[in-house]
Structure 1
Amino acid sequence: MTGSSGGASHVPVLLERVLDLLAPSLTHERPVVVDATLGLGGHSEAMLTRFDDLHVIGIDRDSEALAQAGRRLEPFGERITLVHAVYDEMADVVRGVGTRAGFEAVSGVLFDLGVSSMQLDRTERGFSYAHDAPLDMRMNPGEGPTAADVLNTYAAADLARLLFEYGDERFARRIAAAVVAARADEPFTSSARLVDLVRSSIPAAARRTGGNPAKRTFQALRIEVNDELGGYKRALPAALRVVEPGGRVVVLAYHSLEDRLTKRAFAKVTTSDVPRDVPFVPEGREPAFRLLTRGAERASDDEVAANPRARSVRLRAVERIAA
């Protein structure tokens, strides 16, 4: 989650911790890191600035973000390769870039999951519940169904499921029923109408705390529209495959489901399959990775105060120790 590259730019979340975690894997000649969620390039800019010999492959599905990141990172010249792709295409991206540049594996992969500040701040993209805008929410504009399509076509049960699973919305059934009733009169097109419907569907007592009551609905719709969890389920194993021995994978997750997927995937590759009652782990049966974090690390109170978008972040990281 990085912000605009203008004067009021947001500092990338947990920036120093991310750099410190990646640093030990970037000591050899010509290291390569995949920034799988480039956004506006905040993490990439910091990595390229700190590590003089580093090459970054920046992946993003949002062509507008790629264009802005390209302008921001232009001073680094050939040390940055920008690729318009979804991060679950990472293996193909690394193979293609590596064939031209002479490498087969990378030194690190960074995921900064969720929506970028640019997407939130661009009213016309429809990600924010704070401004009236078309209900779009596509990270790759022009591709696939919009949030309005989801609201206007999904059955009530399917709407309730995604609001509950992706938004942790306690009143998912109420909201879904209200959406289906309202769209019978007029299809949904604007975010303001959805915000008003969500607010009126939630009991007054529940609206007094927790900020805007529509935030969970908007989060759920965004995740559904962009298949964020499905893409991440495919992308994380790809990231673990493309890192070389000594290479590291760092994940910043902002949703409990993303963090759960990360935790499970990391547990699988850092645990030996040798039965626990065997007194030693035979050669060749050691886990391929080791954990670099104890549980999920969180942003400090000071960082959250400076950047409220860091409040929900959970950081996990692993290092490959075997080929």
Structure 2
Amino acid sequence: MKHISVLLHETIDMLNIKDDGLYVDCTLGRGGHSSEILKQCTKGHLYAIDCDAQAIQESSERLKQVGTNFTCIHDSFQNLGSILDSMGVEAVDGILLDLGVSSPQFDDEKRGFSYRMDARLDMRMNQEQQLDAWMVINSYSKEELSHIFKEYGEEPFAYKIACQIEKVRKEKPIDSTLQLVDVIKQALPEKVLRKKGHPAKKVFQAIRIEVNHELDQLSIVLKEGLKRLKPNGRLVVITFHSLEDRIVKQIFKEVAVPKKVDKRLPELRIEKLDYQLINRKPVVATNEELIDNNRAHSAKLRGIERIGSECEKM
């Protein structure tokens, strides 16, 4: 399946790219957003990060067709600070995060992300790491599994599914994606199975988040990204589920929205904010984009801009 970058034009517009600026695409993927950044950043430089070695290899060739002023880095975006330090870069004009699984990862059945194709349980974005979905399903306790399904998947039948997994794996390991789908279905009431939507979707999301430590890494990179913005620099984020969006919204709010005070008390000092929200309500896909790209349905785009006079460490 062809990879279509979600909210491409809206994201590039929000970055407000300068032709001589420094930019970081923390989620290179297959290079859709990075290519557009390079087209406008002709005299500056783009640093493109991805923990998927295959993405680095394929996208490097794509970016070379646009320009040579880029550097691809095979690493986790949670290491943004040390990556920029190693490049001798203190601050940048823009940072992009396009979260979630890229289409090529999802469509490659060998990667084990999909609940519709049979493959070994994997779900690693970085295939060099040890923890994978097989280890989560076959070695975590039912209490740990239940917590993951509830917290990361918001699955109402988290405990029942965890108990069923424990029961089945006592006989033999659960090795494949479709084996896991069958186990999940065994734990769910018939009325739930008849509902629209795949019954394993929430559990698979939860496992993927656990395997890749997605939410922890997101909090780390957002806080580091804010520190690394130049004045008028922008950090923009595309999220694909409520947990991600909640983290982005909260961290942005902490630095860009004045704290509420009791109006009856005399104002001792005006709170100085170094950031401002670009948009209070998230940008979502147009009807035209939804027709061409079904995966854009849950996408939300938020942005923040630094307005301080200097890039101080927070």
TM-score class, shorter-chain normalisation, is over 0.9
Tell me the CA shift for residue 130 of structure 1. Answer: 1.0
Tell me the CA shift for residue 80 of structure 1. Answer: 1.2
1:153 corresponds to which residue?
139
Could you say what secondary structure the match of 1:78 adopts? coil
1:50 corresponds to which residue?
40
Could you say what secondary structure the match of 2:46 adopts? strand
Which structure 1 residue ranges, 5 or more long, are not aligned?
1-7
In the alignment, residue 161 of structure 1 is paired with which amino acid? H
Matches within 5 A, 1:161-172: 161-172=147-158
- Alignment deviations for residues 37-94 of structure 1 (CA, whole Å, 9 cap, x no partner): 1111110011112343342110011111111111111224431110011111001111
Determine the C-alpha separation between the residues in 2 that align with 1:280 and 1:22: 36
Determine the C-alpha separation between the residues in 2 that align with 1:302 and 1:50: 24
- Correspondence 1:248 to 2:234: yes
- The RMSD of aligned alpha carbons is 1.7
Moved more, 72-81 or 105-114: 72-81
1:18 pairs, out of 11, 14, 23, with: 11
Determine the C-alpha separation between the residues in 1 that align with 2:279 and 2:194: 36
1:63 pairs, out of 45, 53, 65, with: 53
Determine the C-alpha separation between the residues in 1 that align with 2:130 and 2:261: 46
Aligned pair count? 307
- Correspondence 1:320 to 2:287: no
- Alignment deviations for residues 142-183 of structure 1 (CA, whole Å, 9 cap, x no partner): 312110111111111111111111112111111111000000
Could you say what secondary structure the match of 2:170 adopts? helix
- Correspondence 1:214 to 2:188: no
1:180 pairs, out of 161, 166, 169, with: 166
Q: What is the TM-score of this pair, normalised by structure 2?
A: 0.93
CA separation of 1:280 and 1:13: change in aligned 2, threshold 3 A: farther
Tell me the CA shift for residue 206 of structure 1. Answer: 1.2
- Correspondence 1:32 to 2:19: no
Could you say what secondary structure the match of 1:185 adopts? coil
Determine the C-alpha separation between the residues in 2 that align with 1:318 and 1:303: 24
Determine the C-alpha separation between the residues in 2 that align with 1:210 and 1:290: 40
Determine the C-alpha separation between the residues in 2 that align with 1:202 and 1:50: 50
- Correspondence 1:9 to 2:33: no
Q: Is the 8 A contact 1:274 1:281 kept in 2?
A: no
Q: Give the share of equivalent positions with the same residue, in percent.
A: 38
Q: Is the 8 A contact 2:20 2:41 kept in 1?
A: no
1:289 corresponds to which residue?
275
Moved more, 196-205 or 229-238: 196-205
Which structure 2 residue ranges, 5 or more long, are not aligned?
none
Tell me the CA shift for residue 217 of structure 1. Answer: 1.1
Tell me the CA shift for residue 213 of structure 1. Answer: 0.9
- Alignment deviations for residues 5-32 of structure 1 (CA, whole Å, 9 cap, x no partner): xxx5332111111011112xx33x6201
Q: Is the 8 A contact 2:26 2:77 kept in 1?
A: yes
2:210 corresponds to which residue?
224
1:86 pairs, out of 76, 94, 99, with: 76
